[in-house]
Structure formats: C-alpha cells, structure tokens
A and B are shown apart, each in its own frame.
Chain A
Amino acid sequence: EPEVTQTPSHQVTQMGQEVILRCVPISNHLYFYWYRQILGQKVEFLVSFYNNEISEKSEIFDDQFSVERPDGSNFTLKIRSTKLEDSAMYFCASNRRGYNEQFFGPGTRLTVL
C-alpha cells in the first residue's frame, strides 16, 4: 500500500542552523501539507501546497520557513535559522484531488540544541 515517507526520522541541530526536512508524498496525490506537533501538544497546521505554490499558511509559518517541490517526488520544508522552540515532530501529509482524507508520514523529530 502506498504511503508517505519522511527523512530523516530524527534530526539534531544547533540553534541558528538551517535544516531541510524531506517528504515523499503518495505518488498520485496533488495536495501537500506540513504540520508540527510540539511534545505533548496539538498537531498544528503549518502550510499547504498545490500546483507548485503555497495555498495556505498559518501564523506559525513565518519568514524563516519555506517549502519547495524540487522535483516530481520530493516535498521539502526548510527552516532557515532554527530556534529552540522549533523543536517538534514535523509531519508531512498528502491527499489526492476529490478526496479530503489526508495521509500522514511517520514524522521527523527535530531537536534544536
């Protein structure tokens, strides 16, 4: 069964460093998302992406965040200058046209020291 994959599973970085989190959505899906979950808190929406552009973004998704679909399979989230409070689990999700169900990847745990 096709699934969303994410790499790495765990990323440790120093404050101020740039990180890129990678996702491979399900191949026939057209809509892509990033969510994050700070430990013990709700899963929060960051950004949605369709047709090579951002559809919607939350207040969390400020100028230090960016997303890209560099090729036909990958979908990336870049954090330019990480802060301690960026430590969280980051989930990628996707769904296909006409179907609202979003399928989530296993997540990348980001730890900022």
Chain B
Amino acid sequence: GEDVEQSLFLSVREGDSSVINCTYTDSSSTYLYWYKQEPGAGLQLLTYIFSNMDMKQDQRLTVLLNKKDKHLSLRIADTQTGDSAIYFCAEDQGNSGNTPLVFGKGTRLSVIA
C-alpha cells in the first residue's frame, strides 16, 4: 500500500536553512503536500507541488520533487523560531478531487535561537 516516510526530528539554528525530507511510494500521486502543525493546533496547508513539476518556490519555502526517486523535500530559508512545528508530508491517491491524503509521521522542527 501507499506509505510516506519522514525523519522524525530536525534541529536548526535561527537564520539557517532547514531541509525536511520525505519519501513516498505511490507513483500515481497527483499532488504532494506539506502541512504544518503547531502545538495544539490543526494542520495548516503550507504548500504543494504538482507531480509533473520539479520545483516550486513560495517566499521562504522551496519544494523539490524527484519523481524518479519518489523524494520530496521542503527547504525553509532563514528559519525563524516561529517555524518550530511538526511538518507533515502528504500525497494524494489520484486526481479525482476527492481523494484521501496519505500522511507521513511528521518531522518535528526545533529552531534554536
């Protein structure tokens, strides 16, 4: 079945770049997503990338997709303490617009001032 894997923890210093990695298994995914979860809060959609793209940039966020290796990464430039959260990678299971998301376990990003 589908599976999404992420490393569980990442610690960076304020001002440095953070890179959060994810691997997935479903080659039929249409979109891949990054969600952010702050303590006690819900899932905030950060960004997403269409599966036929290699890269997407959105302000401090850069998403890279290597479809051959089924590898997705999220780079946060100039990481701030407010970026401390859990980051979830997710893939959808098709393109019907009504497809479930499959999530990784999440990477806890700790930003050290």
Residue of B30, B31, B42 most packed against chain A (CB within 10 A): B42
Give the contacts of B24-69 with A (CB-CB under 8 A).
30-31, 33, 35, 41-45, 48
Tell yes or no: B99 within 8 A of A by CB.
yes
Given the known interface contacts A101-B48, A104-B42, the answer about A42 and B104 at a Cβ–Cβ threshold of 8 Å is: yes
Is A31's CB within 8 Å of the partner chain B? yes
A-B contacts counted at CB < 8 A amount to 60
Which listed residue (A50, A55, A97, A105) contacts B42, Cβ 8 A? A105
Chain A residues near B45 (CB-CB < 8 A): 101-104
A42 to B31, CA, bound (A): 19
User: Interface size on B (CB < 8 Å)?
Assistant: 24
Which of B42, B90, B95, B97 interacts with A95 by CB under 8 Å?
B97
Residues in B with CB closer than 8 Å to A41 are: 105
Write 16 A-B pairs (CB below 8 A) sorted by A numbering. Answer: A31-B98, A42-B105, A43-B101, A44-B103, A45-B102, A48-B98, A55-B98, A56-B98, A91-B42, A95-B97, A97-B97, A99-B97, A102-B45, A104-B35, A104-B42, A104-B45
- Nearest 4 CB-CB pairings of A with B: A45-B100, A106-B42, A104-B43, A43-B103
A residues with a Cβ closer than 8 A to B are: 4, 31, 33, 35, 41-45, 48, 50, 55-56, 58, 91, 93, 95, 97-107
